[in-house]
Amino acid sequence: MLFKKLYNLGDKLEDKVRGKLSHFPIIYAFVGGSGIIIFWRGIWHSIDFVVQYIHSNGQSTGLIWWDGVLSTLLGATLLLLVGLFVSSFIGNEIVISGLKGEKKIVEMAEQEIEREVIIDTEIQIEIKEISKRLARVQKILEVKK
């Protein structure tokens, strides 16, 4: 119940922020780009800390453990706030195709290619038939001369 209330509150806040920022696309792009960079900086620093911790056998490494976590949370919060978290990482097309129950984009491309091959084959058959008809018409015209 608490999660649902927080989710709805976040959703409404995101709608308001996105609505305001949509009138200022350059600022929107700057905030979104900053959010992505801060998020990935946090991931990078967290992994650096873990690797350094493992290599030092649990000894103090000089790295601050919460630096990466804080950046990751800050970046994720910023991206969620402006409505770019999901779309910046997996893309709108994948989300939309999932909601519609469509196949993966790669599978759709394969199906389209197969369809095009079939269509090309049908066109080639039609061209051969037209060529045969044209040859017959040419023979008939030559006979009449």
> Which pLDDT tens digit goes with each residue over 45-102?
888 888 888 887 767 666 677 888 899 999 988 888 888 777 666 665 655 666 566 5
Compute the mean pLDDT over every residue in the chain, rounded to the nearest whole number. Answer: 80
pTM reported for the whole predicted model? 0.56
Q: Using CA atoms, how far apart are residues 17 and 128, in angstroms rounded to an integer?
A: 61
Strand, coil or helix: what is 118? helix
Q: Say what the pLDDT of residue 91 is.
A: 62
The dihedrals phi and psi of 23, each to the nearest 5 degrees, come to: -80, -10
Q: Using CA atoms, how far apart are residues 29 and 107, in angstroms rounded to an integer?
A: 32
> Which pLDDT tens digit goes with each residue over 28-39?
888 888 999 999
Q: Say what the pLDDT of residue 107 is.
A: 61
Tell me the mean pLDDT in the region 18-35. Answer: 85
Q: Say what the pLDDT of residue 128 is.
A: 94
User: What angle do helix axes 25-55 and 2-21 make, rounded to 10 degrees?
Assistant: 130
Q: Using CA atoms, how far apart are residues 115 and 92, in angstroms rounded to an integer?
A: 25
Number of continuous H segments (helices) and E segments (strands) in the chain: 6, 0
Strand, coil or helix: what is 104? coil
Q: Using CA atoms, how far apart are residues 136 and 16, in angstroms rounded to an integer?
A: 71
Write the DSSP symbol of residue 103: P
